[in-house]
């Protein structure tokens, strides 16, 4: 037996909810409630989920306070494509722990993705000085794609330069 359109819409909204995409889930549940006002059983569940979405969206997000938490939040922002906030988180993490080589490397990647070539190269140079393995990582890291044609980047990561 095929699921009704209301049930299918509910299932799609629940998928968003389960992925913790509460803003999109809220919109999906609201739309479902408007589109299917006669589906009492589905509406009851949709309203319950909608209330939880509203609660989750109202709850203040905890502010990262440790270098590691700031680094983690920077990675989240970088993965979202939010370069400026990612850079800010990495810089804050490094103020708390200047020896965090992984944060230096991540900062270099964020600068590269943000088109800040000189800052990216300087941070990458620092990361490699702290831990040699970053030389190899940067060769294959897509975050550094904007620098692949840069001769200084090629020399830094040990790519054979043909001039």
Does the pLDDT of residue 99 top 70, yes or no? yes
Burial class from Cβ neighbours inside 10 Å (0-12, 13-18, 19+) for residue 13 reads buried
Q: Which domains are delineated in the chain?
A: 5-58 (no CATH), 67-157 (1.25.40.10)
**What confidence tens digit (pLDDT) does each residue in 49-92 have?**
999 999 988 877 677 889 999 999 999 999 989 999 999 999 99
Question: DSSP letter string over 52-99?
Answer: HHHHHHHSPPPPP-SHHHHHHHHHHHHHHT-HHHHHHHHHHHHHH-TT
Chain centroid, CA 96 distance in Å: 22
pTM, two decimal places? 0.64
């Amino acid at each position: 037996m095929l699921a009704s359109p209301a049930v299918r819409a509910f299932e799609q909204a629940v998928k968003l909810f389960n992925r913790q995409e509460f803003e999109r889930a809220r919109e999906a549940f609201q739309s479902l409630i408007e589109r299917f006002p006669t589906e009492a059983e589905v509406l009851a569940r949709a309203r319950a989920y909608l209330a939880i979405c509203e609660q989750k969206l109202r709850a203040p997000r905890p502010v990262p306070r440790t270098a590691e938490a700031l680094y983690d939040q920077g990675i989240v922002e970088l993965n979202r494509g939010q370069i400026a906030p990612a850079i800010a988180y990495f810089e804050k993490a490094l103020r708390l722990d200047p020896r965090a080589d992984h944060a230096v490397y991540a900062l270099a990647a964020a600068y590269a993705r943000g088109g800040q070539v000189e800052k990216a190269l300087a941070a990458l140079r620092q990361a490699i000085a702290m831990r040699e393995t970053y030389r190899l990582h940067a060769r294959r890291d897509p975050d550094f794609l904007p620098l692949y044609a840069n001769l200084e980047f090629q020399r830094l990561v040990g790519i054979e330069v043909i001039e």
